[in-house]
Amino acid sequence: MGLMFSGIGVSRGIAIAPAYVLRRNQPDIINQTLKKNQIPAEVRRFKLALKSARVVLQKLSDDIPKNAPEDVSSFIETHLLMLDDSLLSQRPLEIIKDQRCNAESALQIQRRELEQVFSEMEDPYIATRMDDVNHVIDQIMRELTSHNKDETPEHDWQGCVVIADDLTPADTLIMQNEGVAGFVTETGGPLSHTAILARSLGIPAIVGVHNIRDYVVSGENLILQGESGMVLAQPETYMIAEYKKQLRMLRERQRDLRKLIDTPVVTDDGVPLNLLANIEIEEDLKSLKKVNADGVGLYRTEFLYMNREDIPSEQEHYKVYSKVVRALKGAPLTIRTADLGADKEVETQASGPLAHNPAMGLRGIRLCLSDTSLIVPQLQAILRASTKGPINIMFPMLTNVYEVSQCLELLETVKARLLKKKIKFDKNIKVGGMIEVPAAAIAADLFARKLDFLSIGTNDLIQYTLAIDRIDDEVNYLYDPLNPAVLQLIKNTIDAGKKADIPVTLCGEMAGDPRLVRVLIGLGLTDFSMPPNSLLEIKRALNNSNVKKLQKLTNALISSSTQQEQQKIMKKINAGL
Burial 219-235 (b: 16+ CB within 10 A, else e): ebbbbbbbbebbbbbeb
Burial 471-485 (b: 16+ CB within 10 A, else e): beeeeeeebbbbbee
What's residue 68's pLDDT?
59
pLDDT higher at 202 or 72: 202
Q: Looking at the predicted structure, is the pLDDT value of residue 139 above 50?
A: yes
What's residue 118's pLDDT?
76
Least confident piece of the model among 29-33, 450-454, 558-562: 29-33
What's residue 411's pLDDT?
97
Vertex 308: Cα angle to 305 and 311 (nearest 5): 50
Q: List pLDDT tens digits, range 2-17.
A: 789 999 888 888 999 9
Q: List pLDDT tens digits, range 304-349.
A: 887 677 889 999 999 999 999 999 999 999 999 998 864 444 544 4
Question: Per-residue pLDDT averaged across 209-216, rounded?
Answer: 89
For residue 279, how many C-alpha atoms fall within 13 Å in the half-sphere facing its CB?
27
Question: What topology is assigned to 3-22+155-247 in CATH?
Answer: Glucose Oxidase; domain 1 (3.50.30)
Least confident piece of the model among 21-25, 79-83, 331-335, 404-408: 21-25
Q: Measuring CA to CA, which residue among 199, 183, 129, 190 is closest to residue 473?
A: 190
What's residue 344's pLDDT?
45
For residues 203 and 68, is the Cβ–Cβ distance under 8 A? no
Confidence of residue 217 (pLDDT cuts 50, 70, 90): confident
Is residue 507 part of the annotated active site? The answer reads yes
Is residue 368 part of the annotated active site? The answer reads no
How many CB atoms within 10 Å of residue 312?
20
Mean pLDDT of the chain: 85
DSSP 344: B
For residues 547 and 521, is the Cβ–Cβ distance under 8 A? yes
Percent of the chain with pLDDT over 70: 85
How many CB atoms within 10 Å of residue 33?
10
d(CA 370, CA 349): 8
Q: List pLDDT tens digits, range 144-153.
A: 877 544 444 4
Q: List pLDDT tens digits, range 47-96.
A: 999 988 888 888 777 766 665 555 556 667 778 888 888 888 899 999 99
| Residue from 101, 160, 368, 507 carrying the catalytic annotation | 507
Q: Measuring CA to CA, which residue among 302, 76, 79, 284 is closest to residue 200?
A: 284
Q: Looking at the predicted structure, is the pLDDT value of residue 111 above 50?
A: yes
For the domain covering 36-145, report its CATH number.
Answer: 1.10.274.10
Vertex 364: Cα angle to 492 and 123 (nearest 5): 90
Q: List pLDDT tens digits, range 368-397.
A: 988 899 999 999 999 999 999 999 999 999
Strands 221-225 and 230-233: antiparallel
Least confident piece of the model among 41-45, 272-276, 381-385, 443-447: 41-45
Burial 419-440 (b: 16+ CB within 10 A, else e): eeeeeebbeebbbbbbbbbbeb
pLDDT higher at 63 or 234: 234
d(CA 234, CA 220): 6
> How would DSSP label each residue in 138-162?
HHHHHHHH-S-TT-------TTSEE
Percent of the chain with pLDDT over 90: 48
What's residue 478's pLDDT?
73
pTM value is 0.67
Q: List pLDDT tens digits, range 450-475.
A: 999 999 999 889 989 998 765 555 66
What's residue 178's pLDDT?
80
d(CA 462, CA 465): 5
Domain ranges within the chain, ordered by starting residue: 3-22+155-247, 36-145, 264-573
With left for phi above 0 and alpha for psi between -120 and 50, is residue 474 left, alpha or beta? alpha
264-573 carries CATH number 3.60.20.10: no
What's residue 30's pLDDT?
72
Q: At residue 367, what is the residue type?
A: L
pLDDT higher at 103 or 202: 103
Least confident piece of the model among 105-119, 273-287, 342-356: 342-356
For residues 397 and 433, is the Cβ–Cβ distance under 8 A? no
How many CB atoms within 10 Å of residue 211?
8
Instruction: Give residues with Cβ within 8 angstroms of 275, minimum separation 6.
Output: 265, 293, 294, 528, 529, 530, 535, 538, 539, 542
For residues 296 and 535, is the Cβ–Cβ distance under 8 A? no
What's residue 303's pLDDT?
78
| Residue from 193, 317, 368, 407 carrying the catalytic annotation | 193
Q: Looking at the predicted structure, is the pLDDT value of residue 508 above 90?
A: no
Question: Per-residue pLDDT averaged across 238-260, rounded?
Answer: 88
Question: Per-residue pLDDT averaged across 36-47, rounded?
Answer: 90
What's residue 235's pLDDT?
92
What's residue 67's pLDDT?
58
Q: Looking at the predicted structure, is the pLDDT value of residue 20 above 50?
A: yes
Question: Per-residue pLDDT averaged across 486-509, rounded?
Answer: 96
What's residue 72's pLDDT?
58
